[in-house]
Amino acid sequence: MTDKILTQENRVVRHGAMELIEHWAIALSGLILLLTGIFELPVGKRYYIIDVPGLGWSADFITSLYLHYAAALVFTAAAVFHVFYHGLRGEKELLPRKGDLSESVTVIKSLFGFGEEPPMRKYLPEQRLAYAAMALIILMLIISGMVKTYKNIYAPDMSHGILLWATWIHNIGFILFFLAFLAHMAAIALRPNWPMVRGIFTGRVRLDYARHRHPLWIAGMEPEPQDPATVEEGEQQPLPSEEAPVMEETEEEDLPPGKPQPEEDKT
């Protein structure tokens, strides 16, 4: 757990360097997989993509396969690393919790002005559900992709039944992964989630934002002794959430309305 309050800087460490590397390894390799997966369909010539400068290779299925394999290597290794690394460390904050579904409904309703947003942990209930959904999609893609890769190299005459299952799981997984990516981008586009975007680039989010929207997360950290390197002697301890200072005291940005959306970050 790398989470840490940096009161002087008005920041909370939300993701450690390892988590950022995991996220971006999966994100970038996933995008390459999406693109080269599309180019494994006969679309390059038909849709004149080959005429786009720099995409002349889009109709060369073997070139796309090289790139697809290279990205799959990173994607698969990073996904397996993620599961075991955090599993061994006992970090389960992204796993769905009991009541996440109903709590998500409450949060979404609050987004439309019906009711209040409940106090949140480090991750929003939608994020935990979205994480589970994405994990399932990635699992589908990796296993089916492995079967297809094995077939390509060792067993072109493998059981057609197994191959058809793998193929369609891969194709459906591709569509779901693409939709999940769009939903991820849509979540980022929502104003209440903007403060979290900084977190996936720098690992840190604003402390006042976190106190306002993720009080259960902050409350879980505050009883802990502060790191002397980050908290000066005699410095005032952060206030409980209900006493949190309002945004305009610390940042130039407006306080977000506090309406969470799914899938802000994935690690």
Tell the smallest beta-carbon distance from residue 84 to another protein (Å): 4
**Residue 22 or 208 having the CB closest to another protein:** 22
Tell the smallest beta-carbon distance from residue 149 to another protein (Å): 5
Nearest to 82 by CA among 144, 160, 147, 16: 16
Q: Which residues bind another protein (CB under 8 A)?
A: 18, 40-42, 45-48, 59, 61-62, 65-66, 69-70, 72-73, 75-85, 88-89, 142, 145-146, 149-153, 156-157, 160, 163-164, 166-167, 171
Tell the smallest beta-carbon distance from residue 181 to another protein (Å): 20
Tell the smallest beta-carbon distance from residue 164 to another protein (Å): 5
**Residue 42 or 240 having the CB closest to another protein:** 42
**Residue 17 or 246 having the CB closest to another protein:** 17
Nearest to 75 by CA among 137, 11, 126: 137
Nearest to 137 by CA among 96, 178, 91, 98: 178
**Residue 24 or 81 having the CB closest to another protein:** 81
Tell the smallest beta-carbon distance from residue 170 to another protein (Å): 9
**Residue 23 or 259 having the CB closest to another protein:** 23
Tell the smallest beta-carbon distance from residue 248 to another protein (Å): 37
Tell the smallest beta-carbon distance from residue 165 to another protein (Å): 9
* Burial (CB count <10 Å: 0-12, 13-18, 19+), residue 29: buried
Nearest to 24 by CA among 72, 104, 99, 78: 78
CB 111 within 8 A of CB 154: no
**Residue 5 or 210 having the CB closest to another protein:** 5
- Cα(120)–Cα(103) distance, integer angstroms: 10
C-alpha radius of gyration, the chain, whole number: 22
CB 142 within 8 A of CB 75: yes
**3-class DSSP state for residue 80?**
helix
Token readout for 267 is: 């690690």
- Cα(230)–Cα(118) distance, integer angstroms: 30
Maximal C-alpha separation, the chain = 72
Strand duo 11-13 + 4-6: pairing = antiparallel
**Residue 77 or 186 having the CB closest to another protein:** 77
